Chains A and B, each alone.
Chain A
Amino acid sequence: MRFAFVLGELGSGLRRNLAMVISIVLVTFISLTFVGAAGLLQLQINQMKGYWYDRVQVAVFLCVDNSTSPSCATGPVTDDQRDEIQTILESESFSEYVSTVEYESQDEALGHFQDQFANSPIVDSVTADQLPESFRVNLVDPEKYEVINEAFSSTPGVDVVSDQRELLERLFTYMNVASAIALTIAGVMLLCAVLLVATTIRLSAFSRRRETGIMRLVGASKAVIQLPFVLEGVIAAVVGGLLATGTLWAVAHFALNGVLAEMYPETAFISSTEVLLLAPLLIGLGGVLAGVSSLLTLRRYLRV
C-alpha cells in the first residue's frame, strides 16, 4: 500500500513537472553520452593497444644510397654488415628481448608499399632501390624498444631503428586528448544536470508543500515523504542514461562497425556489445548523481 502510494505520488509529481523532468532527461542524456564517448574512446585505445602491440615491430632500417646518418658514412649496407647485424639480433644475449627476426628485402619493401598505397598515384613513382631493406624484429616485451635502439643505432650499416609503436602512441595521444575533451564537456554538463535536478526537486517540493505538510502532521515517515521526490529525479536521470546508452550503441553499431570497419578493415574496432558493458555505469552514474542531488535539496527545502 505504501509502495503504491509512493508510486502514485511519483506519478503525479512527474506529470506536474513534465517540462522540468524532460529537461533533466535531456541534460543527463547529453552529459552521459559524452561520458560514454570518453569511455568508448578509452576502450578503443585499449583494444588497439591489445591488437597492435602484438603485431608492431621494431624495424632496423639498413643504409641505402642516400642515407644521411653517420653510421651510413660508408654508403649502402654491405653483405658483411648485414650478416653481422642478423647474427647479433639472433644471438643468445638478445634472445631474452627478441622473439623473432625477419629480413625484408628492398623488393619485399616495395611490395608492402604498393599494397599499402594501392589507391595512390605515388606508387608508380617509387622504385625498390629507394626503399631501405630492414630487419623486422618482434620483441618479447614491446616496451623494451630502447634496448634494440641502443644496440643498433650506431652500428655501421644501420640507418635508423624505428619503433612502430611510436606511431601508434601518437594516435593514442590524439585519442586521449579527444576523450579528455569529452570528459570535460561531460563534467560541465553533469554539473548542469545536478543543479537542474536540485532546482526541479525544489520546485516540486514547493508545489506539493501542502501535501507534504499534511503527511508530516499525520506522521508519515521521512522515507514516504521524500521518496517520491528523490525517485522523480532519479527516474529522469536514468531515462537520460538509457537514451545515452542507446545513442552510443547506435554509434558503435552503425558508424564504427558499419561504416568505419568497412573503410578500415585492418583496424580492430570495439563492438557494440562493449557499449552494453558501459551502460550500467552510465545509468548508475546518472541515478546516483540525481539521487544525491535531490536528497541534499530536500534536506534544505523540505521539512520532515
Chain B
Amino acid sequence: MIRFDAVTKVYSNNSRPALDAVSLEVDRAEFVFLVGASGSGKSTFIRLVLKEDRVSRGAVYVAGQNVANIPSWRVPKLRRGIGVVFQDFRLLPNKTVFANVAFAMQVIGKSRAVIRETVPDVLQTVGLEGKNNRMPHELSGGEQQRVAIARAIVNKPGILLADEPTGNLDPTTSMGIMKVLDRINSNGTTVVMATHDDDIVNTMRKRVVELRNGSVVRDDAQGIYIGETEVLAQ
C-alpha cells in the first residue's frame, strides 16, 4: 500500500537529512507504529506520503503509484485516498460535530443525501453517536480526536495516517482512541501511526518501525518500544 524506496529527504542543503535512505513497505490492511524521538523523521514520512513535500532522492509509492509522477492537479485525488489525524485535532471551532465531518464530504462534492446517510454511521464507528450537534469546545480532548478520526475516514480512504494522535490525551483516553483505530484497521484500512507513547505500542502488539535520525533502526512484527525516558531510567 505504501512503499518507500531508498527515500532521502533533506530540508535544507547543509542540514542532516530528515530521512536517510529509508526503505520500507506497508501492506494493505496493515497496522504500523512509526516510533522514534522528536526529529527522528516520523512527520516527514507522513508528509511524503501525502505529497506535501518532494523527496530529495528515492521514490515513494502509494497504492502502487510513484507520487513524484502524480501531476499537481491529481494530488487531491491521491489525498482522497488517505485520511490524516493530527495531535492537535484541527477541527473547525464554529461548526458542529456533524458539520465538521460533513465538511470533508462537501468539499469533494458529495450530495447532501449521501452526507446525511454516511456521517451518522461514521460517528457511530468512532463512538460519538448522539453528539451530532455538539460544538468542538463542548467536547473532551478524546471526543475531539474521535471527531477528527471520523472526518479522516468518512470518505473511506484506503490509508489512515495518524501523527501522534494521542499526544495530547491522557492514557485512558488514549486507549479509547487506539480501540477506534484498531476497529478501523480491522475493517481493512491500512493504518500508519506515528507516536512516541511506549505504553500504547507495547499494549497493541503491532508492527513497530523505529526511526532514529532519519534511518530505520528496527522493524519488528508485534514489536515493543522503549522510549527515551525509560532508556534514561535504566
Residues of B within 8 Å of A, CB-based: how many? 25
Contact B76 A221 (CB under 8 A): yes
Within 8 A of A (CB), among B53-112: 72-73, 76-81, 83-84, 90, 92, 103-104, 106-112
Alpha-carbon distance between A273 and B109 when the two chains are bound, in angstroms: 43
Check if A192 is an interface residue, CB within 8 A of chain B: no
Contact A217 B50 (CB under 8 A): yes
Residues of A within 8 Å of B, CB-based: how many? 17
Most B-side CB within 10 Å, residue of A215, A219, A221:
A219
Check if B151 is an interface residue, CB within 8 A of chain A: yes
Contact A217 to B111, CB < 8 A, known contacts A1-B106, A210-B90, A211-B92: no
Most A-side CB within 10 Å, residue of B76, B81, B104:
B76
CB within 8 Å of A: which residues of B?
A: 50, 72-73, 76-81, 83-84, 90, 92, 103-104, 106-112, 151-152, 155
Contact A224 to B107, CB < 8 A, known contacts A1-B112, A217-B79: yes
Contact B92 A210 (CB under 8 A): yes
**Majority SS at the chain A contact face:** helix
Contact A1 to B78, CB < 8 A, known contacts A214-B90, A217-B84: no
Within 8 A of B (CB), among A80-138: none
Contact B107 A5 (CB under 8 A): yes
Chain A positions within 8 Å of B80 at CB level: 218-219
Contact A219 to B109, CB < 8 A, known contacts A210-B90, A211-B92: no
CB distance from B20 to the nearest CB of A (A): 26
CB distance from A26 to the nearest CB of B (A): 29
Alpha-carbon distance between A214 and B84 when the two chains are bound, in angstroms: 10
Contact B104 A218 (CB under 8 A): yes
16 further A-B pairs in the complex, CB-CB below 8 A; given A2-B107, A213-B90: A1-B110, A210-B92, A211-B92, A214-B92, A217-B50, A217-B79, A218-B79, A218-B83, A218-B104, A218-B108, A218-B151, A219-B108, A219-B155, A220-B107, A220-B108, A221-B73
Most A-side CB within 10 Å, residue of B50, B77, B79, B112:
B79
Alpha-carbon distance between A81 and B127 when the two chains are bound, in angstroms: 114
Check if A55 is an interface residue, CB within 8 A of chain B: no
Check if A222 is an interface residue, CB within 8 A of chain B: yes
Return the CB mask of A185-228 against B: 1 if under 8 Å, else 0. 00000000000000000000000001101111111111011000
Alpha-carbon distance between A222 and B73 when the two chains are bound, in angstroms: 7
CB distance from A195 to the nearest CB of B (A): 28
Chain A positions within 8 Å of B110 at CB level: 1
A-B pairs with lowest CB-CB distance, top 3: A219-B80, A220-B107, A219-B79
